Amino acid sequence: MPKKIILASKSPRRSQLLTQAGIPFEVRTADTEEIYPEDLDVLKVAPYLAKLKADGAKHLLKSDEEVLLTADSVVILAGKIYGKPVDRAEAIATLGLLSGNRHTVVTGCCLLDGEKHEVFAGVAEVYLNEMTTREIEKYVDAYQPYDKAGSYAIQEWVGLAKINRIEGTYPTIMGLPVDLVYSHWMEW
């Protein structure tokens, strides 16, 4: 049996995905400032931040039978990262840019124990239909997506009504590439 997963994330979505996949885990969290080098390739930012979070949370491990799991997601459009919006105006502006465009979601993960670590990432392409300003404002006001990279969640209205295609996995876009987590964890 693989080591017990300690999920170092406050994200209810990540907990939900692990639960739905039948993967046993326990949540223990630590705060880490999410800063990355400005010249880092945008596709490498999420894995970099996942490793940074793991390094900052490794003290949460209590035995050799546990492995820490951390994750971070970013939304990329035209080579620029769109993280969690700071306010309503930024959320509306971000969704306005994403509207009618294809963007990339990268969710980086790190598994770490006392001896080794493994960093990997799920990548998905999201094709978003056009949204009117009124639709965007209504979504932001109803769902307040201030804790979501790219200002939306695939499991909410934007994902259900406005995404017409994805290339990659739904869980990657939701915040945890469960297929990759499972395969790496089983080899641990």
pLDDT digits (tens, 9 = 90+) for 49-83: 999 999 999 999 999 999 999 999 999 999 999 99
H or E stretch including 163? strand 163-167
pLDDT digits (tens, 9 = 90+) for 110-144: 999 989 999 999 999 999 999 999 999 999 999 99
* From 72, 87, 113, 141, active-site residue: 72
Q: What's residue 1's pLDDT?
A: 74
Domains of the chain: 4-187 (3.90.950.10)
The average confidence (pLDDT) of the chain is 97
Q: What's residue 90's pLDDT?
A: 98
Residues in a beta bridge with 102: 127
24 pLDDT higher than 90: yes
Verify whether residue 72 is a known catalytic residue. Answer: yes
Residue 137 and residue 124: Cα distance in Å, rounded?
Answer: 25
Q: Whole-model pTM?
A: 0.96
Write the burial class of residue 64 (CB in 10 Å: 0-12 exposed, 13-18 middle, 19+ buried). exposed
